[in-house]
Amino acid sequence: MLPSPVLHTMAALLTIAIFSFLYRDNPVYKFAEHIFVGIAAGYIVAIEFQNVFLPNLWRPLLAGDYKLVIPFLLGVLMFSRFTVRFNWLSRWAIGLMVGTFSGLAIIGFAQGDLVAQIQANMLPLKAGSLIDTFTNWVIVVGVLATLVYFFFSKEHKGALGATAKLGIWFLMVSFGASYGFTVMARISLLVGRLLFLLVDWPASLGIELIR
């Protein structure tokens, strides 16, 4: 195990290497990028091997649960992609996996998102307070106007067109809020790295830059 100052210095140098892309694309940035991608890929493979393959397939198979031979063979077929002659065999495993997960995703989306969102938007138009009533009206009108915008079976003219334009406004506000939230999340990550460079890294070296 490397000492803490060495690890902090390595992390700081790699962070600065990534920040060098703000100047322009350069070999130092590409080196750090390749290290990050390689470590991330290796880490994901190790986690999947330890937490998925061993407990869910290999150990039960060795314990006598022989029905797992089928998913094991399908997993082996996935590696046929690396051959030219037998790469078509992987289509069976990929097709089964995509079809299964598509069905599960549809059910999960319907139960977890679609039904829940419909229930969340079934609000009383007259609530206990004026603010709650106004909020419920805004939500209900926004949902209906946005749905009208995506109704393309009829030309958006007259009242339908006005409602569709109102839906566009609600969409833009929603996209703007989502974008702002994403920017704030990225800024928090940037602040964390800057604090590491200016506080944690110097502290590991016995230096105090900021009090």
Name the stretches of the chain with pLDDT < 50.
none
**What's the pLDDT at 1?**
56
Q: Which residue has the tokens 């609530």?
A: 127
3-class secondary structure per residue, 77-125:
HHHHHHCCCCHHHHHHHHHHHHHHHHHHHHHHHHHHHHHHHHHHCCCCC
Distance (Å, whole) CA 186 – CA 205: 28
Q: How far apart are CA 103 and CA 154, in angstroms?
A: 32
Q: What is the pLDDT of residue 211?
A: 67
Residue 208 pLDDT: 81
Closest CA to 169 of 211, 193, 141: 141
First-to-last CA distance in the chain? 30
The residue whose two tokens read 């138009």 is 125
**What pLDDT is attached to residue 113?**
80
State the pTM of this model: 0.68
